[in-house]
Structure 1
Amino acid sequence: MKKNITCLNNCYGCGVCVKACPTKIISLKETSDGFYAPIIQEQDKCIDCGLCLRICAFNHDAVAQDNTSTDSYAAWSNTPTVREHCSSGGIGFEIGRWAIDNGYKSVGVRYNPQKNRAEHYIASTVEDYMPSVGSKYIPSYTADAFDKINLKEKYLVTGTPCQIDSFRRLIRQHRKEDNFILLDFFCHGVPSLLLWDKYSAELKEKIGNISYASWRNKSTGWHDSWAINADSTDGSNPSEWSDFYDLMTDERKHTYNSRMSAGDLFYRFFFGHYCLNMCCHKSCKYKMESSAADIRIGDLWGNKYKLDDAGVNVALAFTARGKQVLANIQKSCTLVPEPLAVSTEGQMSRCAPMPTIREKVISQLRSNKTLNEINSGLIFRYNLRFLPARIINKIKRTL
């Protein structure tokens, strides 16, 4: 048997092996469960180099670096419009803007309405980087963008912790780490693409063809920012990414707005962990400060900043390069040193628990049932079993 990724029963779907393969026989495809996975259709062309396995983060028990000295901050952009339009404090955008201004290309994630997916892409200007603003709570397709990266040039690469772990192994293999800044984030987990496919199909029936979608909106405050916003080419207010300055001052009301606090079903499935990647339940080794990145960012939940509704980031710098980048953006950002216990409060410290109905949920996502039918039937009955214990626990907390 050839020594390649086909010997793995499961993986993160990071897509870095597509970039690593010297014979270019690996491609990234969507599985029947709605997750990306590498495949090799021409096994006879495999040269048995084993490189795809050496750079695969899933194939290693440990993270690619040991973070023994971490600088920890609460952080936010000093530009009000940046802070307003980003998911939390705007630090991810400010790091990307600094990188571009200093000769790097920035690799971020945007929503592609034509393909109805999140995808990595390469931006050479701040205007091009704008579509990366905001969280995308669906798997990102990495293969095309990663394959276009020239390892001899300078890049900021942003991704999930597992994507960045594999990418760290790739550039280390080629001795090109000095050309890269790696940025990851606190990751809750990655839901099946089947969830977004069904959600967006139902949304299309309401507003027409989707031209724009976002997963966070702070119009009602940072602590109530989980919202699906969308516009349609058939509507009167399509949202365009093309003009950076217009977007940063955009006050238009989107055609569609649905919030988690009002019972949005996408977030019902996502935060209930009903259709996450199996790796998110069993194989995630990237919680808290466990990271292969130079910098990790996220929302700074917790008691200290609970009254701040404008958005606050946590920013952790693990490497000398990461610490230097944060030092370089202090003119455009506020960085407040905080203990790790403060900056990581509210973040997941272990893998997401797996509901026993996960496989049934994914199976029904493949069916003709609506999200509401799956929620009111399968998920409601599942949660009904735990209702007495929850009531007792609530009474105990009250007492």
Structure 2
Amino acid sequence: MKNNIGKLKDCYGCGVCTAVCPVKIINLKENAGGFYSPQISNEEKCINCELCLKVCAFNHKELSLQNAIPKSYAGYSKNDIIRQRCSSGGVGFEIARFLIEKGYKACGVRYDISNERAEHFIASSVEEYTPSIGSKYIQSFSQTAFSEISRKEKYFVSGTPCQIDSFRRYIRHLKIEDNFILLDFFCHGVPSMLLWRDYLHNVEKEIGKAGFVSWRNKTNGWHDSWNMNVDPVESNDIDWHNSYNINILEKKHFYQSRWKGGDLFYKFFLSNYCLNKCCYKSCKYKCFLSSADIRIGDLWGKTFKDENLGTNAVIVFTENGAKILEQLKQCNLSPIATNTCVEGQMKKCPSLPLIYRHLLKALGKDEPLQKTFNHIVKPYRLLTIPKRIMNLISYKLGIKLISH
């Protein structure tokens, strides 16, 4: 029996194993639950090198970056347009821009309308990197971009904490770690692609084929930026080279706020009803646990509640990361306390909901998403009202009343 990634179940789906495989028999495929997972295309061609297991963060209890001493900052871009266009303060984009101008290539995530997915891509210029602006609250397909990484060039790579943890193992194996700056972010978890496609197709029944999607929009301010925007224009009508200088969302054909009536995607996602299984039981990257050089996020807590333009939490874990921030003149950065940095962030894995399997079976059939919510989620929410009330009281009082 060959010892390879095929023996793992419910892994992160980071895709790094597809890049390290010397015989290229590992592919990232969507499983029945709507999550990317590695599949062995030809078991007999496996040479039993076990490199896929060596670089796999899911296969290791410890992080690839050990003994890091984090330093925390509040930060935002000095460019008002970039700060407005980005989901938070724009620090992540400014780091990428700084490094691209220093000769690095940048590997980030954009949304691909034609394939209805988020995907990693490699950019050689600031203009090419522009589609990375904005949060994408779905799992990214990383196989193509990660496999195109050259050993001879320098890269800035951003991704989820689990992707970055595996990626550091990969470049360390290749002995090219010094050529990379790695960035991750506070991750809530990734929802099933079945949910995303049901949501998108429901919207398209109202507006026609989508041409542009945005998960966050700060038109009404940073704290009210949880808005889904779907624009029915052709993707080639969007001038990505100038899109961070203009507001391409002026004509919103679908606009739904998390707060006002409640957007269905956010109802599922933020309530953790259909995240990847590993997000419930195997995430080891909360708060200050990271294998990145730099971590970013939103400073959602009480300290910045009156700030409404967008401010990043920025955490530095390595000397290389610290050197980047020292040279980052495009941003305002101020040291903050570590507890301030994680205010409002998810501090531990959520519990697997009792409706999980039933819900995944109901998703992906292009039925009205509201129907799925009404028939499965609403009854479950009624059953959990007492626990949610106790959680709210516990949060307000700052004490632990019940176990999760």
Shorter-chain TM-score bucket reads over 0.9
| Alpha-carbon spacing, 1:344–1:67, altered in 2? closer, same or farther (3 Å) | farther
Matches within 5 A, 1:333-348: 333-348=331-346
| 2:232 maps to amino acid | S
Structure 2 residue aligned with 1:212: 212
The question of whether the paired residues in 2 share the 8 Å contact of 1:211 and 1:230 is answered with: yes
Is residue 2:71 matched to residue 1:71?
A: yes
| 1:307 maps to amino acid | D
Is residue 2:239 matched to residue 1:265?
A: no
| 1:314 maps to amino acid | A
SS in 2 for 1:205: helix
Matches within 5 A, 1:325-336: 325-329=324-328, 331-336=329-334
The question of whether the paired residues in 1 share the 8 Å contact of 2:131 and 2:240 is answered with: no
| Alpha-carbon spacing, 1:395–1:132, altered in 2? closer, same or farther (3 Å) | closer
Structure 1 residue aligned with 2:138: 138
Structure 2 residue aligned with 1:362: 360
1:68, CA displacement in angstroms?
Answer: 3.3
SS in 2 for 1:347: coil
The question of whether the paired residues in 1 share the 8 Å contact of 2:82 and 2:244 is answered with: no
Matches within 5 A, 1:164-243: 164-233=164-233, 240-243=237-240
Unaligned 5+ segments in structure 1 are: none
| Alpha-carbon spacing, 1:106–1:394, altered in 2? closer, same or farther (3 Å) | closer
Structure 1 residue aligned with 2:400: none
Matches within 5 A, 1:294-313: 294-313=293-312
SS in 2 for 1:244: coil
Partners of 1:390 and 1:25 lie apart in 2 by 46
1:250, CA displacement in angstroms?
Answer: 2.0
Structure 1 residue aligned with 2:36: 36
Unaligned 5+ segments in structure 2 are: 398-404
Structure-2-length-normalised TM-score? 0.94
The question of whether the paired residues in 1 share the 8 Å contact of 2:130 and 2:243 is answered with: no
Partners of 2:391 and 2:349 lie apart in 1 by 23
| Alpha-carbon spacing, 1:391–1:279, altered in 2? closer, same or farther (3 Å) | closer
Q: How many residues align?
A: 394
Deviates more, 1:49-58 or 1:358-367: 358-367
1:389, CA displacement in angstroms?
Answer: 5.3
Deviates more, 1:103-112 or 1:355-364: 355-364
SS in 2 for 1:291: coil
| Alpha-carbon spacing, 1:351–1:96, altered in 2? closer, same or farther (3 Å) | same
| Alpha-carbon spacing, 1:382–1:100, altered in 2? closer, same or farther (3 Å) | same
What is the CA deviation profile of residues 9-49 of structure 1, one whole-angstrom value per residue up to 9, with x for unaligned ones? 22100000000000111111000100000111211111110
SS in 1 for 2:106: strand
Structure 1 residue aligned with 2:159: 159
Percent identity, please: 49
The question of whether the paired residues in 2 share the 8 Å contact of 1:294 and 1:319 is answered with: yes
1:152, CA displacement in angstroms?
Answer: 1.8
The question of whether the paired residues in 1 share the 8 Å contact of 2:68 and 2:318 is answered with: no
SS in 1 for 2:304: coil
Partners of 1:339 and 1:297 lie apart in 2 by 15
Structure 2 residue aligned with 1:279: 278
Deviates more, 1:379-388 or 1:215-224: 379-388
1:233, CA displacement in angstroms?
Answer: 3.0
Match of 2:349 among 351, 356, 359: 351
| 2:332 maps to amino acid | T
The question of whether the paired residues in 2 share the 8 Å contact of 1:208 and 1:233 is answered with: no
Partners of 1:232 and 1:132 lie apart in 2 by 20
| 2:291 maps to amino acid | A
1:3, CA displacement in angstroms?
Answer: 1.3
Partners of 1:389 and 1:17 lie apart in 2 by 40
Partners of 2:99 and 2:391 lie apart in 1 by 48
| Alpha-carbon spacing, 1:394–1:6, altered in 2? closer, same or farther (3 Å) | closer
SS in 2 for 1:202: helix
What is the CA deviation profile of residues 84-135 of structure 1, one whole-angstrom value per residue up to 9, with x for unaligned ones? 0100000011011001000000000000111111000001111110000000
What is the CA deviation profile of residues 173-199 of structure 1, one whole-angstrom value per residue up to 9, with x for unaligned ones? 011001000000000000000011101
The question of whether the paired residues in 2 share the 8 Å contact of 1:83 and 1:310 is answered with: yes
Structure-1-length-normalised TM-score? 0.95
1:387, CA displacement in angstroms?
Answer: 2.8
| Alpha-carbon spacing, 1:49–1:72, altered in 2? closer, same or farther (3 Å) | same
| 1:54 maps to amino acid | K
Structure 1 residue aligned with 2:242: 245
| 1:335 maps to amino acid | L
Structure 2 residue aligned with 1:103: 103
Deviates more, 1:161-170 or 1:374-383: 374-383
Matches within 5 A, 1:84-99: 84-99=84-99
1:372, CA displacement in angstroms?
Answer: 0.3
What is the CA deviation profile of residues 315-368 of structure 1, one whole-angstrom value per residue up to 9, with x for unaligned ones? 001000000111111x21000101111111111111122211111111111345
What is the CA deviation profile of residues 222-281 of structure 1, one whole-angstrom value per residue up to 9, with x for unaligned ones? 1111111111137xxx78443433542226232211111121000000011110000000
1:370, CA displacement in angstroms?
Answer: 1.7
Structure 1 residue aligned with 2:401: none
Structure 2 residue aligned with 1:380: 378
Is residue 2:124 matched to residue 1:127?
A: no
Partners of 1:83 and 1:241 lie apart in 2 by 20
- The RMSD of aligned alpha carbons is 1.7
